[in-house]
């Protein structure tokens, strides 16, 4: 069988290895003003306390990597993203996933980041490949490649695989190791297309079969607009892990997210003696 690729990320003092042979890595999603209005309001006021608290809480809840997004409309993202990253690095030692569509903000962040970051993201658009891949190469960062390109988001698994093919081909031909490429098959909401979830699961399988690379996604997107999202999210989380997702971008403070990832790891033989499951259970009881 194809070897499961290992993506190694680091901070100044900590290394995280993402691999299908290991337990699932949760990438904490909460430092994101685009997705969360309270973060937006705090950043608009120049208040970084919420960001620092969110960083600490997510790591305590089991996130081993943190996604950092500072996309505040009208703000200077180059300065703001750099500051948010510094604030986060001052309170936690988790490696970071730098979430920006702005190449200048990305480069400023990569310059000050201490360690090997995960860039979120590059996609199959020419402009994206041309600007982001050289930065990944220069700074030795890993990248998330989104399965979309100049024609938009493909509507079949094989067409999404073709975008992954293109990103992997372009990145590796520049000397970026395939281990450093994490693919996002794109999780779209099932409230507007009931086939969206199944399509993404199928895409994960095709990409994993062909490359063995690591797979991420904003897995809670799947339930946007539906009632009782946590049940849908938890079920989908388990199914996506089984299909091959290794590092979801999710909210570890939601108990169902964490327990589902842990239970899926146990069910897939990635939790020897169930130690991680038991340890998390004890922590939950203690904090009750
Ligand atoms: N793929 C990749 N990166 C991503 C995404 C993805 N980054 C952003 C996003 N999608 C994942 N991050 C978040 C962050 C916060 C929230 C959701 C996804 C969130 N949402 C609340 C909700 O959905 O109800 C908003 C509620 C609030 O305002 O607090 O918290 O797909 N590569």
Dist CA 58 CA 42 (whole Å): 18
| pLDDT tens track for 205-243 | 999 999 999 999 999 999 999 999 999 999 999 999 999
Rounded distance from Cα 162 to ligand 1 centre (Å): 25
- Closest residue by Cα to atom 12, ligand 1, is 29
- The set of protein residues with a Cβ atom below 6 angstroms from ligand 1 is 29, 32, 35-37, 67, 99, 120-121, 144, 184, 187, 216-218, 220-221, 224, 249
CB contact at 8 A, 216 and 247:
yes
Rounded distance from Cα 220 to ligand 1 centre (Å): 7
How confident is the model at residue 54, as a pLDDT?
97
List C-alpha distances in Å: 141 to 67, 134, 149, 182.
Answer: 14, 10, 22, 11
- Closest residue by Cα to atom 31, ligand 1, is 218
Q: What is the DSSP letter of 218?
A: B
How confident is the model at residue 147, as a pLDDT?
98
Provide the angle, in degrees to the nearest 10, between the axes of the packed helices 196-211 and 229-243: 20
Nearest to 95 by CA among 171, 182, 187, 165: 182
Based on the number of CB atoms within 10 Å of its own CB, is 44 exposed (0-12), middle (13-18) or buried (19 or more)?
A: middle
| pLDDT tens track for 105-118 | 999 999 999 999 99
Dist CA 224 CA 124 (whole Å): 25
pTM of the predicted model as reported, rounded to 2 decimal places: 0.97
Rounded distance from Cα 202 to ligand 1 centre (Å): 22
Nearest to 124 by CA among 156, 157, 100, 146: 146
Structure tokens at 252: 């570890």
- Closest residue by Cα to atom 8, ligand 1, is 218
Structure tokens at 78: 């180059």
């Amino acid at each position: 069988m194809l070897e499961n690729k290992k993506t190694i990320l680091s901070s100044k003092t900590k290394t995280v290895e993402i691999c299908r042979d290991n337990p699932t890595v949760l990438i904490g999603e909460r430092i994101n003003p685009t997705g969360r209005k309270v973060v937006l309001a705090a950043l608009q006021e120049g208040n970084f306390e919420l960001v620092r608290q969110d960083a600490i809480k997510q790591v305590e809840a089991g996130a081993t990597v943190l996604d950092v997004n500072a996309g505040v409309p009208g703000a200077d993202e180059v300065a703001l993203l750099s500051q948010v990253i510094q604030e986060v690095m001052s309170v936690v030692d988790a490696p970071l996933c730098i979430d920006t569509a702005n190449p200048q903000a990305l480069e400023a962040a990569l310059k000050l980041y201490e360690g090997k970051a995960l860039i979120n993201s590059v996609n199959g658009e020419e402009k994206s490949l041309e600007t982001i891949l050289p930065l990944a190469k220069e700074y030795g960062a890993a990248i998330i490649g989104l399965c979309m390109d100049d024609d938009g988001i493909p509507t079949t698994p094989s067409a999404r695989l073709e975008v992954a093919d293109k990103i992997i081909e372009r990145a590796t031909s520049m000397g970026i190791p395939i281990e450093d490429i994490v693919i996002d098959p794109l999780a779209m909401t099932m409230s507007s297309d009931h086939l969206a979830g199944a399509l993404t699961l199928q895409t994960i399988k095709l990409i994993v079969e062909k490359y063995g690379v690591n797979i991420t996604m904003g897995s809670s997107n799947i339930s946007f607009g539906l009632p009782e999202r946590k049940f849908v999210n938890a079920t989908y989380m388990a199914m996506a892990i089984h299909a091959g997702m290794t590092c979801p971008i999710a909210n570890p403070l939601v108990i169902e997210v964490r327990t589902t990832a842990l239970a899926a790891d146990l069910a897939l033989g990635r939790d020897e003696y169930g130690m991680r499951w038991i340890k998390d259970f004890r922590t939950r009881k203690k904090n009750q």
